[in-house]
Structure 1
Amino acid sequence: METGMLNQSVAWAIIFSGVFLWVGMLTGVWKYYQIRHSPQARAHYYVDIAHRSSLLYAPASLIIAVLAYFSVWSEGLNLIFVLINLFFFSFSILSYVLYGWLKDTTNQFKQPHQMGRWHLPKWMLSSAMIFLVIGELGATVGLLLGTMRGLGKF
């Protein structure tokens, strides 16, 4: 199959899989640099999380691509499901990178919620986590159900 024949939902998931892999490699270099220059031979907690999560979201995005490929739902609905997942994957990685860059916390849920010089309202982090959970779980189950129907298993 030519890449031009892939649906947008599948193509975006594949592209972001590569982006997440690349970000995982970049944050790996950053992690190594911090380990080499730390008296404790450790990178900042969120640099490590950014590195690992990027590397985990890369194959997760490929799984999302496969689910979108086999899903029987309309391309528009599949694209929405894929973009919701990619948005929240990206949001998570970017927040980890920011916390690693600022070195302001080792627990983003510790109160008061700190981001650099700013204290974030409690509702902001809680709302972001609720939207992330609902978005990722909902979008993924949507793709999974579409795939199960597409494969004749539901």
Structure 2
Amino acid sequence: MDAAQFTAAVKLAVLFSGIFLWTGMLTGVWKYWQIRQSVQSRAHYYVDIAHRSSLLYAPASLILAVLAYFSAFSAWLNLLCVAINLVFFSFSILSYALHGWLQDTSNQFKTPHRLGAKMTLPNWMMTGAMLLLIAGEVGATALLLLGTGWNFYA
């Protein structure tokens, strides 16, 4: 198969699948290093979450690529749906890694929402971010799924 035959949405999703896999491997090294340094033989909670989520977002991105490939919708709409998911996947991994680096919390939803030793985030910001994430990921994936179903049964 020639890569030129794939749309930008498919290519982007496949690329990010590899990026997330690689990030999972790198955070796995970080996790192992923290386990080796810890008296309890454990990594920080959010280092573990960053590692696991990266590895889970890698195949999720491949599923997005397949849905975009089979979607009956326009190339730009499929690209938008894939990009929305990838932005939120990336944001999640980065926020987990940041909390793991700062070692500032074991629950980012516990109030006050800590960011480092001195900074806190307002409740509205966390709520807004989560609502955007939910609407973005669920809505964009629903559109890709609808486009795929439309293609198969139209």
Q: Answer yes or no: same fold by TM over 0.5.
A: yes
Q: Distance in 2 between matches of 1:120 and 1:140?
A: 29
Q: CA deviation at 1:5?
A: 1.6
- Give the corresponding residue for 1:132: 133
Distance across 2 between alignment mates of 1:151 and 1:90: 30
Number of aligned pairs? 153
Query: C-alpha separation between the residues in 2 aligned to 1:18 and 1:151?
Result: 28
Question: Please, what TM-score do these two structures have when normalized by structure 1?
Answer: 0.98
Corresponding residue of 1:3: 3
Cα distance in 1 for residues equivalent to 2:120 and 2:58:
31
Distance 1:104 1:145 in 2: 40
Residues 59-78 of structure 1: matches in 2 within 5 Å? 59-78=59-78
Task: Give the percent of matched residue pairs that are identical in Structure 1 and Structure 2.
Answer: 65
Residue 107 of structure 1, CA deviation: 0.1
* 1:100-119 mapped onto 2 (5 Å cutoff): 100-116=100-116, 117-119=118-120
Residue 28 of structure 1, CA deviation: 0.1
What is the SS of the residue equivalent to 1:119?
A: strand
Query: How many angstroms apart in 2 are the aligned matches of 1:17 and 1:76?
Result: 20
Q: After superposing the two structures, state which structure 1 stretch, 1-10 or 92-101, moved more.
A: 1-10
Q: What are the ranges of 5 or more consecutive residues in structure 1 without an aligned counterpart?
A: none
CA distance in 1, matches of 2:98, 2:120: 14
**Deviation by residue 1:93-112 (Cα, 9 ceiling, x = unmatched):** 00000000000000000101
Q: Deviations over 1:66-104 (max 9, x none)?
A: 000000000000000000000000000000000000000
Report the counterpart of residue 89 of structure 1 in structure 2. 89
DSSP 3-state at the match of 1:141: helix
Root-mean-square deviation (CA, aligned residues, Å) is 0.7
CA distance in 2: counterparts of 1:142 and 1:50, whole angstroms:
27
Q: Tell me the CA shift for residue 4 of structure 1.
A: 1.6
Matched position secondary structure for 1:151? helix
Q: Once the 2 structures are TM-superposed, how far is the Cα of residue 151 of structure 1 from its aligned partner?
A: 1.4
Q: Which residue matches 2:35?
A: 35
> Where does residue 25 of structure 1 map in the other structure?
25
Paired letter, 1:83: A
Q: Secondary structure at the match of 2:114?
A: strand
Deviation at 1:132, TM superposition (A): 0.2
- Where in structure 1 do 4 or more consecutive aligned residues deviate above 2 Å? none
Looking at structure 1, the residues matched to 52 and 69 of structure 2 have their Cα atoms a distance apart, in angstroms, of 26
